[in-house]
Structure 1
Amino acid sequence: MGSVVVFAPSPGLTVTVEDVDGRPDIHLHAGGQGVWQARMLTGLGASVTMCAVFSGETGSVIRHLIEDEGVEVIPVEGQGSSGAYIHDRRAGERELVAENPGEKLTRHDLDELYGQTLKAGMEAGTVILSGAVREDAVPSDVYRRLAADLGTAGCRVITDLTGDRLTAALAGGVSVAKIADDELTDSGRAASDEPEAIIEAMHALHEEGAGTVIVTRAHLPSLMLHEDELSEIRVPEMQSVDTHGAGDSLTAGVAATLADGGTMHQAVVLGTAAGALNVTRHGLGTGEEGAIRNLTKLVTVSAYQAEEPAADQQASPEELARKVWKQ
């Protein structure tokens, strides 16, 4: 596998309490979008470097946990403390006990983090821009500048962002933009979760600066717009334990494949298999590489076919009027 840099501005510490034979079982892990992506990348055999800010006692623990997973860390020592949360899962669902989103990054932190990411990205050739737990931790324009500068340096830039961060990264230009359908609707980029609205939003993302657009749709087939061709990606639905981290696993699989010289078709197949396996596990961004590669045999990519309306389904007068107006 090739080399991938993960821009993870502010990873956090996760403390999860589970029940084992009536006794509390406490787990400590590094968490956050970039961490889950790096974890899956490492599991798939990629060489992973993470550029992040670590602050205070919490940050020190997070850094060591990430390094213990085989990820090379390029740290920036920040002020205050890094974020953390405690989840209680003894009843089966995640119950938030306490949460600290961490500190807003200072200008000096951002300058150092920016330079380290640019340097590492130019050496690796593939960079994932991931979000921060705290919305205002990093100014959105940092994503625009990073995407633009990395692209100018010949890097492949992959994003899994929403809101202003996504808009900014697109303005800088990205190779691949992955997003979930509910994120499109929640942000107003798609009028609804109907296929036509999602596809329209995908074309808009492409026009804004994404070379390839991948949209996940929970239990429905994912959609991909690549080189003006629209495809749907199917995989058998697995028995879900926890859906958190599935999208990040997909992004990691895509990045790992492209970094290793694979095609976009191969990338989305591996990514889909990684995301599908991740939902069967409690650990976020985890999955045994052999099982993931076996699961790729069940992933299919085909040209998108719009669903035909039922024969007895009649259009409303409003729908007929819209059709006539468009003609």
Structure 2
Amino acid sequence: MPTCEVYVVGSYGVAFWIVGEVPAPGETVLGSGFAFGHGGKGSNQAIGAARLGAKCKLLAGVGADKFGSEALELWRVEGVDCLAVRQTTETPTMAGIIILDAAGENRIITDPGANAQLTVTDVETFAASWVDPGILLTQLEIPVETAARALAIGKARGLTTILNPAPARTLPKEIFTDVDILTPNQSEARILLGLEADDPQADAEIALKLRALGVAHVVMTLGADGALIAGPDGITKIASYLVDVVDTTGAGDAFNGALAAGLASGLTLTEAARRGTAAGALAVTKKLVVPALPDERQISKLMKTGTLAYEDQGRFPSHRPSGYRR
């Protein structure tokens, strides 16, 4: 099957990282390792797919500011078609603040900025460039109605529609029937069902309940345990890789970008999910999201040898990855 295009409707933002403990109300704590860089789930996933050879087009919102201009240059360098990106003077580019603890787990707060201005009309204009077969990938750092419209148009056009439901929230039930592949982590899957994030029901049971909402396939990421796929033929488990965790922030985006790229290249869902798991494992071994998104050579090496493809790591580590949720 020839490679088809990946259309991403999502977010861009600039991210600021600091390592330290989360302060209590009124408390100031000392941190370390401050860094900043490109972020936003839509942008990250589009870049992740492009690095793996996908022809990728992105719709996102940025401000008419320094960060928005830098985003446009980033996409040009990475080979992501950004002609549909909306640059607005009304609001600034999205910003996120990420606190990493000593174990590499993250806590994030964001101001959606220009992403909140991304409208249904923007999606309808962007959709004029969509060609079947194709992959439509969206997330929830943009208005829900905008993501829902993208899924509905994609489904009607015959594209394979992927919803990465992050950040987690409850959604209107009618969205799910337009989703071919739902890619939550364990906590997101439970929140979609109106449950507590740590509900003790088995992951497979949760995935089957999500399918009952009308989703064709659920691909749930399981952190150290890899992923599971719930589809018409039952449950399939995908193993993960053991890596040293440095920063978990971009693991889910690496997974989704690789999943979309794999499907666009003609892989089966199971084959694409295996590549996604490898991409997620590699992503947690480096700080910052965009620098950690792997390329084809790195994923191929990890999948073939079971050892890290980043030469500067120096050894095959023994720690559990926490890419999505433990």
Normalised by the shorter chain, which TM-score bucket?
Answer: 0.7 to 0.9
Q: Using the alignment, how far apart are the partners of 1:212 and 1:178 within structure 2?
A: 9
- Partner residue of 2:249? 244
**Structure 1 residue 121, shift from structure 2 partner:** 3.1
- Partner residue of 1:80? 91
- Partner residue of 1:211? 216
What do residues 178-211 of structure 1 show as CA deviations (whole Å, max 9, x unaligned)? 1011223345545675785322221122122221
The reply on whether 1:120 has 2:129 as its aligned counterpart is yes
What's the TM-score once normalised by structure 2's chain length? 0.75
Amino acid aligned to 1:256? A
Aligned-partner SS, 1:282: coil
Aligned-partner SS, 1:281: coil
The answer (yes or no) to whether the contact 1:127–1:157 under 8 Å persists in 2 is yes
Compare the two structures and name the one with the higher strand fraction.
1
Q: Using the alignment, how far apart are the partners of 1:96 and 1:249 within structure 2?
A: 18
- Partner residue of 1:306? none
The answer (yes or no) to whether the contact 2:62–2:94 under 8 Å persists in 1 is no
Amino acid aligned to 2:8? V
Q: Using the alignment, how far apart are the partners of 2:253 and 2:106 within structure 1?
A: 22
- Partner residue of 1:54? 62
- Partner residue of 1:102? 113
Q: Identify the match of residue 36 of structure 1 among 32, 40, 44.
A: 44
* Unmatched runs of 5 consecutive residues or more in structure 2: 20-31, 307-326
Residues 1:69 and 1:197: Cα distance change in structure 2 (over 3 Å): same
Amino acid aligned to 2:246? V
Q: Using the alignment, how far apart are the partners of 1:130 and 1:55 within structure 2?
A: 19
Amino acid aligned to 1:129? T
The answer (yes or no) to whether the contact 2:216–2:231 under 8 Å persists in 1 is yes
Aligned-partner SS, 2:119: helix
Amino acid aligned to 2:86? V
What do residues 235-284 of structure 1 show as CA deviations (whole Å, max 9, x unaligned)? 23111111111112111111111111111121111111111111112132
The answer (yes or no) to whether the contact 1:51–1:116 under 8 Å persists in 2 is no
- Partner residue of 1:200? 205
The answer (yes or no) to whether the contact 2:105–2:248 under 8 Å persists in 1 is no
Q: Using the alignment, how far apart are the partners of 2:300 and 2:211 within structure 1?
A: 29
Aligned-partner SS, 2:170: helix
Q: Using the alignment, how far apart are the partners of 1:215 and 1:155 within structure 2?
A: 21
Residues 1:104 and 1:144: Cα distance change in structure 2 (over 3 Å): closer
Q: Using the alignment, how far apart are the partners of 2:305 and 2:194 within structure 1?
A: 31
Amino acid aligned to 2:126? T
- Partner residue of 2:15? 14
**Structure 1 residue 92, shift from structure 2 partner:** 9.1
* Larger mean Cα displacement after TM superposition, 179-188 or 95-104: 95-104
Amino acid aligned to 1:142? T
Identical pairs, percent = 24
Q: Using the alignment, how far apart are the partners of 1:77 and 1:233 within structure 2?
A: 39
**Structure 1 residue 27, shift from structure 2 partner:** 5.4
Aligned ranges for residues 132-147 of structure 1 at < 5 Å? Answer: 132=141, 138=143, 140-147=144-151
Amino acid aligned to 1:272? T
Q: Using the alignment, how far apart are the partners of 1:52 and 1:37 within structure 2?
A: 12
User: Greater CA radius of gyration, 1 or 2?
Assistant: 1
The size of the alignment, in residue pairs, is 285
Residues 1:298 and 1:167: Cα distance change in structure 2 (over 3 Å): farther
Aligned-partner SS, 1:251: helix
